[in-house]
Structure formats: C-alpha cells, structure tokens
Structure 1
Amino acid sequence: MNCIKKIAAAVMVLCLIAITTAPQSATASQVSKETLDLIKKAGDKERYPDANAIVILDKTDVEFHGDGTGTTHNYSLVKILTQSGLESYSDYKIGYYKAYDTVRVEQARVIKADGSAVDVPDDMIKDINSTATEEMNIYEPDAKIKVITFKNLEIGDCIEYYTVDSVFHAPMENEFDGIAGFQSFDPIIKVEYNITGPKNKPLRHMTRNGKVNFAQKEVGDKVSYSWWAENVQRIISEPAMPALQDVATTVVFTTLKSWEDMSRWWNAIAEPKYAMNDSLRAEVASLTADKQTKDEKIDAIYRFVDQKVRYMGLGTGKKKGLEPKPVTETYETKYGVCRDVAALMVAMLREAKIESEIVLTGVGYEVPKAMPVLAFNHAIVAIKNDDGTYRYADPTIKNSTAWLPAVEMDQQVLLCTKKGNTLVDTPHSPAEQNMGTIKATSNLTEAGLFTSEVTISTIGIYDLALRGWVKAMPPAQVKQIWSYLLSEMYPGTRLTSFDFSDADDLHKPFEIKLSYQIDKYPTEAGKFMLMKSPVSLGFFEIISKFTLASASLPERKYPWVLGFSFGADEEETINLPAGLQIKSVPDPVSKKLGPIEYKMIYNTTSSQELAGGGTQIKYEKRLLIDAKQMSPAEYAQLKQVLLASSKAQRGEIIMLRDDQN
C-alpha cells in the first residue's frame, strides 16, 4: 500500500509524511453508497484471475511546512480474493518513530460481501516495537509499528482504513523528501498522491520505472503537486528480484538542492561526536605502536572495532535513529549500531593521522542518484588514499578478511564531509577476488575402492561465507554436515578425516581439508566401467549450490540479484590402477557470455607417461559470475551456462579393463 517512505529501516529510522482525504463515509456500522459502488465496479476473481487482492483505491494527500514537519491522511480500500490475500492483509502495519511523528487510526473496518461493516475494535489496534530493529539487535523503544488487525476478515470481504500521521519533528530540519509508490504486488484500480507545500520550498521530483499523470497549481503562498494512475498492473514476484522500489513505478521528491547539502548536514551532526578522551587516545597508540605502514595501522584499528564492539543499539540524543553516539561512549560500552561503530573507527583513524569520514549507504536497494533523498539504512567508513581517492571499510561485518565485503561493492555511498560530496559508487569487486578453490587428489584401486583427499581454499565472499558458517556451530556439527553431504553425493561414502583452519585468524584465508572413501565406486556396465569425478558433481562447491538455487525461472522480467560477484575453481586428479584403459571422457565446454565465464575439461595421461603405471585423469572447471545483478538478457545467458554445466555433470568417465579390450 502507498505511503511516503524515507527508506531508512531500523538504523536510520525516518518518518512517513503524507496526507489524504477519505471518501465520504457513513457511521461505523454503515457503508456509503459511494464506497459500495467502488467495490461493485472493482470486479472479482473473474476479472483478476491471478491476483490475491485488489487495491480499489489508495489515496494520499501530503501537506508539509517550511520547517519540514507535516501531516498525512491515508485512505485505502482493498478487496480480498484469495487465502493468500487474506493472510497478507489481515494485519496492516504502519511504521513510525516516536521521536519524530505519531500515528492514529481514524477508521478501520471490514466491509463484508453483503455490504455490512464490522469496525475494528480498539483492542485490535496496537502499538508494538519494530521487529525489524529487534532482529538487528537494536533496542530502540521509539521505533514503533501501529498494527491494525482485521479479525473478521474473509475471502470476498474488503478492508477499509483511514490513518493520520503527524510529523512534529522533521528528521532533516527545514527540508522535506520521500518516495511514493504507485505499483505493488496487487493490481491497483486507482492510486492518487497529492502534496501541498510552501511556495518558497519548491518540490523537485521525478518518476521512475513507468509513467503517472501529473498536475501542479499554485494556491496563494502554497503549491499543490498531484500524481495519479489508474488500472495499474501488479508486479509478479520473482525469486531474487530487486527491492520493490527499484522495479515499481515510483515518484521521488525533495526540497533539497543537492547531495552536497545532505553531505554537509550529516557531517555537522557527526563531527561533535568524534571528541576523544585519554583512554581512547591510549588505545589508538597501543594498537598502532608497532605498525610501520598506513595499511597496518588501518587494519589494526579496523580489527579492534570489528571484533571488540558488539552490534547492538539504543537510540539517544535529539536525533534518535540518526545521529551517532559520542565515540567515547561507544568505546566504553563496547556496543553500538552501524553509525556508532563507523564513527568510532573514523575517530580512531583520525587520531592515528589517517584521514577518514563517515559514509551513508543503502544496503539492499538502489539510492536514486538524480534526486537527493534521505534514503540510507547503513553507515560505513571512507579512508582517504594518498592520491585523494577513497577506500571503504565496514567495521560491523564480522569474520571478514576484507575491510569491505563484496556485498557492499557496486553500491551508492555518500561521504559526509564539511565541504560536501555527491553520491558515488563503491568499486566493483571482481569474481576472481571472491573465489572458492576445490582441489582433490583421488585414487581408485583394482578392487574399486575410491579414496580422496580434498582441500577447499577461500578468498573474499567465499571466505566470509564459509568462515561464518563454521563459526556458527560446534565443530562436531560441522563435521556431521559434511558427512551428510558426502552421503548425499554417493550413498555409503565414509568421511575418514575432517579439519579446518582457525576461523578466528582473519589474517589467513579460511581452508577446509577432508578425506573420504567409497567402496566399489565404478558402475559395471557390461564390459565397461563407468564413474564420475566426484568433484564434478558440485557437492564440494557449496556456495554455487545455494546461491544459484534462486536462478530457477526459465526467463525473467526483472533483474536477478545475486548480491555479489563470485567464482569457483574445481580440480580433481584421479589415479587409475594399471589394467584400466580410458575409452572416453566428457567433452570439454567453454562459454563466455556477458559477465559469466564457464570452462570444463578432462585431460588424461596414459600409463606410458607415468612412472608408476596406470592412467591419470584430471578434471578442471572454472565458473565466474562477475556481476552482483544481472539484467533479464544476462540471466538468459546464465541459464545457457547452467544448462551446459548440468549436461557436463551428467557426463561419465568410461573405462575398459585390459582383459576386455
């Protein structure tokens, strides 16, 4: 449903600002003819066979004042078509932040199929703590959700609600901005968005991902802006699609003139928080005392903040949900949210004479570059290089060998400086810097016993994923899971040894070593013997196994979001006993399509070339996906590569005994 979103979930909680006028309504127990006519004209499942609900009307009017405060009235009328729709709309939730705004429900009711109405009782309208912040270990009592529970809702009914959101303290004084949605996962018959504001605070705006109608007029010392659309098609959800606001039709609006203005504003908030005390200065001196290079000093400070400061928050100060705590408080308590942790690292770096700044960024969605809006949900650190460029670090990411993981590369950031900066992107992280390397040396005996020693080496996102996974459970459980994976690969496989490197040592790449054996591994097929390279089956390359599971659709309408670039190298050398000859191996495959590279090849070495006799088979595969998001056309190329890989996995090594030759 539509509301003005400042898109700052949890850590930079902002307010929703909007106003609307409901259609004429009768008493609580009576529904107006106007509303009943809207419901009747809307149609039902016959008209919308694939929909779970119909948004009959969503109407919002926003009035803001010169100081950035304002009021929102929102009216919505929704018809429920399926059980899924009923489950989606049985609870309607409105987020707000007590330090900035209040929300009240003027009306909420269920309109039954026969036209009667059942009001939502007061005890079914509740204020609860934001679950999003609690899940992130942020204990913020002012981050609230108003929940309307439509208890008597049934398929064929409608829900109707009318809410008022009053902003009494603007997050950014004297400015107003937001993003209005005109499309959702349900069809919309009519959606309206009206904003009224002072003439001396002109609203800049743009429409993304589609078109809407627009009108503007002046009334005295105010200007009214109106957008509306009718018969809006629903967005059909796809696995691993971008955030809704990145694909839906939206209107972005702001009174801000530039990103530089926002950069200076945040810098003014953050700078006073960097004040040091003797204890913190002594900590920096101790951490950097024996460090010779700039990078060594940066790494020492980064590791201290990353490992010693717990991600946990409790909002304080006038700008609760926005401003960082004093860095001395974060240092003493050893906890904070992203902005607190980033501010502490900036202050410590500056104490070590390393120029740095706090940085705002949006994780999980795209910040609209063309229009400065307060659309951030995370804070990290920018470190100035000698040539004037910047590197970035996120001290809230645990278990990362890199200062900034691949998931935060190719992402919009705003450096908050006294001079003011514009929005830029973090650099790309190539797939080669986020690799898993699986190497196996295997032996097959004349009796059919297959033994193998496997090493899995990691770098970048691969290292972060496996290291974090191992640290999340007892070692015995990790071993048990690998034993299960091997039995899934081939029934009866026995894990004979298992070990992994120190997951707490972030200065060394994480590595897993294991060995296993399989009795009577080759399959007899008449005079032939068949087997596959176990590594080629993909069970050891577990990152691809899980991440590529979302590439299930044959084609897509929206981009496919992987979230990071990554790659994997597989190599297995299989030593065969004397008396076995290779008749054939799977054909090589090589594909380079857009950001995807795939190569697979088998090579054989005959007994004449080996000192100990026998034959050697070497399997090699490389997969590189050098993009964190793919267009539908690039996704089609990925499907070609995955099809080729699937065919290659089905290929068999065909052998023949000398006595059968």
Structure 2
Amino acid sequence: MASGRRGSSARPLSDFVHGGFMKVNCLVAACLLLPAFSAAETLRLRSGADLEAGVLSIDPTAVLLEDGRRLPRAEVTEIQFSSPQKEKAAVSRAVSPEEITAAKAAFAKARELSAGYPGVNGLVLLDSGTEILKPDGTRVSRNHQVRQILKESLKQRWGRLISCAEEGRARVKILKASVYNPDGSIYPLEPERIKTSRPQSEGGSFFVSGSICTQYLMPNVQTGSIVDYVTEHETYNPFRKDFFFPSWGFQDSEGPVGLSEISVSVPEGKELFYSVKNFTGPGKPEVSSAGGMKTWYWKLENVPPLVAEPSMPSYEDFAPYVRGAVFKDWDRLFDWTGGMYEERTKPSEELKKFTLELVKDAKTEEEQAARIYHYVQKEIRYIAVKVGIASGWGGYDANLTWKRRYGCCIDKALLMTTMLGAAGIKSSPILLNTNTGREVDFSVPQMGFNHAITVAEVGGRHVFLDSTNFDYRYPEIASFDYGVHVLNIFAKKIDYVPVPEPRGNGNHYDYTIAVSSDGSALVSEKMRYTGSREGALRSYYRSIKKEEQKRAFQGFAKSVAPSAELLSYEVNNAEKIEEPFTMGLKYAVPDYAQRAGNIRIFKLPDFEIEPFRISEISLDKRRYPIEYDASMGRYYSYEIDLPENYEVVSLPERTKLSNKHASFAAACGRPADNRIACSVSWERTSRIIPPGDYPEYKAFIEKLAGYTKSQIFFKVKEN
C-alpha cells in the first residue's frame, strides 16, 4: 500500500545554531522569521557572472545579501559557501595566560569525555546559561559554550555565531569567541571581524524588518578544534517588564554534554514558577539569595547524546528541559493578548458590509462559515510582515489585513474572527504549537507558540479553522494542527484540537481491472480523499505544472509494472477549494500476470506495503514514541474482470488484525464467475504510539505488511 500520492511541509529556527536537535529560544511569535547564517560566499549568476557577497538568508524565492540586496532565486544558479579554513588568516595577537589555561583545561576535559563516546560528531564540554531579571524589568541572558569539533560537518555549524535582536529593545554582544587548536595555537576574539546587519527579506512569504543581527565567523577552525564563546543578549527596553520566560535544554544530538547548567535570577520578593521535564532524578534546583536577588540553579553532568529515531517527537518533548515564569497562571497572557485582539477584530462598516454580502445567500451557519473560511484562504495571501513584538504577537488590525490582502497566521486568524463575528458567528483567535513542534507544557505560562488559527461555534459545533493555507475545504485543517492543546484567547481557557477519526482523514482508492486472456490488463484507478489529506494533495497538485503532473501519474503506473503505459489521467478541482479534490488515471500493462506454466500470478496494484513506507518500525526497540501528524485511513476496493479462460485457483485469505492503536481488514470474494472483488481497510486511530506499546504495534504492522504480499493465482483453462 504505497502512497506516492502525497505532499509535504516543514519549518524551524534557532537563536545561536549548534546543529542536530537544537535548543531554541523563541523570542516572538512564529510569524517572525530570522535568518540562519551569514558568510562571504561566491554566487554564480544565471548571466554567468560571479558575485562575491555575504549571504544572510535564503528563502524559496530570494537570496538576501548582507548589504541589503535581494536576488531572485531564479537568477542564482550556484552558491559556493566558504569554509572557515579558507577565511583570511586571523591577525596574530597576544594570548593571555587565562586563555592558555582555559585551552589546556578544555583539551583535558575533551579527552576525558570522549573516552566514553567514540564516533560522535562533537563534544559539548560546557553548556552554561544565565538568565537575569533585573529590578527595573530589564533582563540579560548569557550563554557560554565550549565545544570540540570532531567531524567536518560541524565546522560550519559550530564555527560561526549569529544572533538577532529587535532594534530599540535589545542588543547582542559577543563577549568571547576563542578557537583552541590541537597544535597549541589559540585564536582569541577579533572584535573587528564582528559584523552587524539589518536584514529585510522582501520576497516569498516573509518580510522581516526591525532586527539587528550580530555575526562572527571564528577563524582557523579545523577538525579537532575547540570553540569557546560567550554571548550576551540584553533586553534593555522590554515590551512588558513583567514578562520573563526563561528556558533551557540540557542535551545535544551531536555528542555528549559534559556539564549543562542554567541559573535563573529574579529580584527578592518575586517567585519563579517552573516546570522540569524528562530529568532522570527529581530535578530540584539549588536555591540561593545574594545581593537582593534570588537564584535557582539546575545542572546535569555527563549527559549522553540524543540518538535520533524515525518519527520521534520534538527536542523538548524528550530531552531534559526547564521552563519558568514569574507568574503562576495564564490570566496575564490571556488579558494581554485578549486586549490586543479585541481591538483588532472590530470590523469597519465597510468590512461588515462586505461580509454580509458574501454570506447573504447562505442558508445555514455552516454555509456562512464555509464562505468566509474559503474567502480568507483564497483571497488573503499568506505573507508575514513583522517589525516587532506588537505585530509579531498581536498581529495587524483585521481591517488593514483585509484591505491589503495579505497577512501571516495571526493576521489571517484575526480577520477570520472579525468576519465570522460580523456574520453573527461566535469565534476566537487560537494560539498553538503545531504537532510538528514541541508539546506545550501548560503548567507554566510561556510565549513560545508558533502558529495561530481560529475556533468558531458553528451550528452547535466547536470548529477549528486554519485559514493560513489555500487548499482546505470547510471545515478541514492541516494535519499539523491536530492533537494539540491550544490557547483559546477570548474564552480564556486551554482548548484541544481533536484528532479526526480515520475516515475523516482518509485515502480512498477504487480500482477496476480488466484482465485479457493473454495476461495483459487495463487498469482504471479513482482516488478521493477526506480531511487534511485532501487539502495537502490539492496543494501539491495545484502547485506543480501540467508536465509535472503527467510525470507523477506515469510514476504511479510504472510503480505497478515497469512496462505500464499511461493512457490518461485527471486532476479534478485543484483550484476549486469548495469542491472535493479527486484524481484518476488509466494505464495498460501488457504483461501484468506473471506466468508459471499454465498458472498466472496476479498482484493487486498498490497493495503491498514496502519497508520504506513503514520506516518508523525499523528499530527492534524504541526509547521515544512514534509521533504521526494525524490519524490515518486507507481504503482500497478492487473489481477484477476475468477472461473466460481464467479459473481462480486461490485468493488472499480473509483477515482481520487489530490492536489499541490500529486495525486492518481485508477480504476477497467472487460476486460472479468472471469477477473478483477485494476490499481493504487500514485504520490508525492514534497519533502517538508510546514506547511501551511499540513491540505490539511493530508486530501488528509487520504482520499486515506480510499479508499484503499475498497474490491471486489463476489457471489458464485448456480449450
């Protein structure tokens, strides 16, 4: 049961990038995209010319340069990224005795730590953080990293620093950035090599402004080097002096961590409310007081590296992690966001009139909601334009978003809420982390959400609507929204986006196969979908060209038999969001039935489950859960018309398999002498498979995969 009929999506972002599973400090809402790298590179242009420039970021439509220029992606044919060792040699300068001592201690620690972890990419000797909330509400974050690079792949990622801060509110400093090499050479920080830039991405789906990025490419980094750096992020003009949400992760995927520690200090009289996750012990901090400040301190030593598993959860869901806040419940965040959103969801008379005209012929609330949902998806382009916390978290006024016809997730959610309200339908903006990111720990208030959607009370139902996309027929949403707890802003409560039943997120494949006496076959396939599957596939086929569509369908036919010839195909309603999306194809296979004397062996198309489709069960044991985006339903029907000279020898046995997460049923019969009918149902109700259930789930999948190797046997009757 292969599924080449699919599309995909992805995202993420970090402050200082270390590679692998990364600790992410979310500073503002997900609509704010920061660049991830910068260096002097050689760009080969379509004209044939070469351009030497610093590349700040790359998005699907543009290459953004450090000097502010934006080159269309189509004009750049090749980028040659410079390596640290090719950079201009560092200026010789005096090395302090403290640096020499630090280098010796670092190499000694590296020898000790590496003994227990052969073959890793790198060693994290020190991973130290300090978070300070000052009495005046300003705050300082410091990060001290000492890391040894053992593999070539880490030279770029661990050998460069970049961090961005909102102009007028915060600043970034690099206090130390030293390179210790095995030959004894030491290269301290060269302040004149620190670069700053004001990136503005003006293409694709994002426009970012209002940030200053600080960058430093450490010189003479080589395999075996130890990098030792200290960075500081000072928020001198916080947008809210009472908002302080420190967090820290203690584990890395590239190698072991010798010491990971975090201290959080707040003024005496304030309290820190915190949550500790995935610690092997109790995770109780050391608490101390000095100089009018109270400090909480956590540390872990000799933390083994994370070992990735297929379809595992996000970093924070399984790594040791601490989150904190200086107030206990969510009321303050509800009040703050609710106040902004109330102001920004008041429709103008013009918008109200437009909305009522849009829904005037709708007979039910469902029809009204559907028209508004499809309108916001189709007519308001998804483009993020963010210049600070107010627009990043608060979004823009819905009337402005409507007039200029673009906005990011929170902008579109606010417009949806406004238009639904104008039509008399109660609704609210929703803040969430998509299920491709970390699960929000609601025991401690926090601001690290990466998405915004809408919830509405429609026809007595609690309906979640994600208008960010273009392709989801009411009331369906993208699969990454399912199965997460969310902030319902106007209701001031923690809400939940349910996982649909398998048939509500299904793939339906209907085959009609006409077999000829010579063993050739004419195959007709109809494909229809429900839920997020429909939207994802509509999106994919709407985005590709006609010739690419044809190649995709040729691939479907060839996957059944290399000799298959595509006769026709159809893609229906890719542009019509209001209508069901369906596809179909017809192909001929001259030698479909395999011959063995007078026996003909027949495989049902798209029936067998190949190992690469179920890579999540490839391990004998798992430490972490299997995490899917959503539930799953796959439903197959086959009608096979046989020639007069074919006699059925055997059919796949009727089977039924099930466990608490999934079920599988298949049966074949003979409704007429010259016809075979088979039906298959494979459903998975669970989105997450816990490690404790893995052995049973793995055995279930392996058993059904074995069953799908079953074939149909015919005998050719003699004349």
Does the aligned pair in 2 maintain the 1:243–1:365 contact within 8 Å?
A: yes
Distance 1:629 1:450, change over 3 A: same
Task: Classify the secondary structure of the residue corresponding to 2:413.
Answer: helix
Distance 1:484 1:130, change over 3 A: farther
Q: Which residue matches 2:25? A: 5
Task: Classify the secondary structure of the residue corresponding to 1:253.
Answer: strand
Give 1:127 deviation, angstroms.
4.2
Give 1:503 deviation, angstroms.
1.3
Give 1:304 deviation, angstroms.
1.2
Q: Bigger CA drift: 186-195 or 87-96?
A: 87-96
1:452-485 CA-partner distances (Å, limit 9, x unpaired):
2111111112211221111011233212211123
Q: Which residue matches 1:384? A: 457
Task: Classify the secondary structure of the residue corresponding to 1:659.
Answer: coil
Give 1:401 deviation, angstroms.
1.2
Q: Give runs of aligned pairs for residues 235-384 of structure 1, distance below 5 A.
A: 235-316=306-387, 319-363=390-434, 364-384=437-457
Q: Which residue matches 2:534? A: 463
Q: Which residue matches 2:485? A: 412
Say whether 1:575 aligns with 2:641: yes
Give, as a single letter, the amino acid of the residue that structure 1 aligns with 2:258: I
For 2:101 and 2:557, the matched residues in 1 are separated by 67
For 2:147 and 2:637, the matched residues in 1 are separated by 56
For 2:339 and 2:195, the matched residues in 1 are separated by 37
Give, as a single letter, the amino acid of the residue that structure 2 aligns with 1:332: K
Give 1:276 deviation, angstroms.
2.8
**Which of residues 78, 90, 94 is equivalent to 2:163?**
94
Q: Which residue matches 2:228? A: 160
1:501-545 CA-partner distances (Å, limit 9, x unpaired):
121222322111211111132122123221212242469xxxxx9
For 1:277 and 1:328, the matched residues in 2 are separated by 7
Does the aligned pair in 2 maintain the 1:462–1:566 contact within 8 Å?
A: no
Q: Which residue matches 2:569? A: 498
For 2:566 and 2:329, the matched residues in 1 are separated by 60
Task: Classify the secondary structure of the residue corresponding to 2:153.
Answer: helix
Q: Which residue matches 1:39? A: 107
Does the aligned pair in 1 maintain the 2:142–2:231 contact within 8 Å?
A: yes
Q: Which residue matches 2:70? A: none
Give, as a single letter, the amino acid of the residue that structure 1 aligns with 2:446: V
Does the aligned pair in 2 maintain the 1:493–1:518 contact within 8 Å?
A: yes
For 1:13 and 1:257, the matched residues in 2 are separated by 29
For 2:389 and 2:657, the matched residues in 1 are separated by 57
Give 1:390 deviation, angstroms.
3.5
Give, as a single letter, the amino acid of the residue that structure 2 aligns with 1:598: F
Q: Which residue matches 1:622? A: 681
Give 1:426 deviation, angstroms.
1.4
Q: Which residue matches 1:119? A: 188
Q: Which residue matches 1:542? A: none
Give 1:369 deviation, angstroms.
1.6
Give, as a single letter, the amino acid of the residue that structure 1 aligns with 2:261: E
**Which of residues 65, 69, 77 is equivalent to 2:146?**
77
Give 1:550 deviation, angstroms.
4.9
Task: Classify the secondary structure of the residue corresponding to 1:466.
Answer: helix
Distance 1:535 1:39, change over 3 A: closer
Does the aligned pair in 1 maintain the 2:484–2:496 contact within 8 Å?
A: yes
Does the aligned pair in 2 maintain the 1:448–1:521 contact within 8 Å?
A: yes
**Which of residues 242, 247, 256 is equivalent to 1:187?**
256
Say whether 1:632 aligns with 2:698: no
Q: Which residue matches 2:82? A: none
For 1:312 and 1:4, the matched residues in 2 are separated by 23
Q: Which residue matches 1:209? A: 278
Give, as a single letter, the amino acid of the residue that structure 2 aligns with 1:584: S
Give, as a single letter, the amino acid of the residue that structure 2 aligns with 1:581: E
For 1:51 and 1:134, the matched residues in 2 are separated by 40
Q: Which residue matches 2:650? A: 584
Unpaired runs of 5+ residues, structure 2, are 1-17, 35-93
Does the aligned pair in 2 maintain the 1:12–1:377 contact within 8 Å?
A: no
Unpaired runs of 5+ residues, structure 1, are 15-25, 540-544
**Which of residues 48, 51, 63 is equivalent to 2:132?**
63
Give 1:154 deviation, angstroms.
1.4
Q: Bigger CA drift: 98-107 or 120-129?
A: 120-129
TM-score calculated relative to the size of structure 1: 0.89
Give 1:122 deviation, angstroms.
4.6
Does the aligned pair in 1 maintain the 2:563–2:591 contact within 8 Å?
A: no
Does the aligned pair in 1 maintain the 2:110–2:125 contact within 8 Å?
A: yes
Q: Which residue matches 1:453? A: 524
Give 1:128 deviation, angstroms.
5.7
Percent same amino acid among aligned pairs? 22
For 1:507 and 1:477, the matched residues in 2 are separated by 24
Give 1:30 deviation, angstroms.
6.5
Say whether 1:659 aligns with 2:718: yes
Say whether 1:531 aligns with 2:531: no
Does the aligned pair in 1 maintain the 2:522–2:586 contact within 8 Å?
A: yes
Give, as a single letter, the amino acid of the residue that structure 2 aligns with 1:200: G
Does the aligned pair in 1 maintain the 2:365–2:459 contact within 8 Å?
A: no
Q: Which residue matches 1:21? A: none
Say whether 1:139 aligns with 2:198: no
Distance 1:635 1:169, change over 3 A: farther
Task: Classify the secondary structure of the residue corresponding to 1:654.
Answer: strand
Give, as a single letter, the amino acid of the residue that structure 1 aligns with 2:567: T
For 1:547 and 1:7, the matched residues in 2 are separated by 37
Does the aligned pair in 2 maintain the 1:535–1:570 contact within 8 Å?
A: no
For 1:145 and 1:240, the matched residues in 2 are separated by 33
Q: Bigger CA drift: 461-470 or 77-86?
A: 77-86
For 1:416 and 1:558, the matched residues in 2 are separated by 32
For 1:28 and 1:240, the matched residues in 2 are separated by 48
Distance 1:457 1:328, change over 3 A: same
What's the C-alpha RMSD, in Å, of the aligned pairs?
2.7
Does the aligned pair in 2 maintain the 1:360–1:413 contact within 8 Å?
A: yes
Give 1:34 deviation, angstroms.
4.3
**Which of residues 416, 421, 424 is equivalent to 2:492?**
421
For 1:31 and 1:300, the matched residues in 2 are separated by 66
Q: Which residue matches 2:46? A: none
Does the aligned pair in 2 maintain the 1:7–1:377 contact within 8 Å?
A: no
Does the aligned pair in 1 maintain the 2:271–2:327 contact within 8 Å?
A: no
1:223-246 CA-partner distances (Å, limit 9, x unpaired):
111111111111112222211111
Does the aligned pair in 1 maintain the 2:28–2:389 contact within 8 Å?
A: no
TM-score calculated relative to the size of structure 2: 0.82
Distance 1:69 1:412, change over 3 A: farther
Does the aligned pair in 1 maintain the 2:482–2:497 contact within 8 Å?
A: yes
Say whether 1:400 aligns with 2:472: yes
Q: Which residue matches 2:216? A: 148
For 2:295 and 2:152, the matched residues in 1 are separated by 40
For this pair of structures, how many residues does the alignment match?
Answer: 633
Give, as a single letter, the amino acid of the residue that structure 2 aligns with 1:405: A
Give 1:450 deviation, angstroms.
0.7
1:266-292 CA-partner distances (Å, limit 9, x unpaired):
111222222332321221121121122
Q: Bigger CA drift: 58-67 or 265-274?
A: 58-67
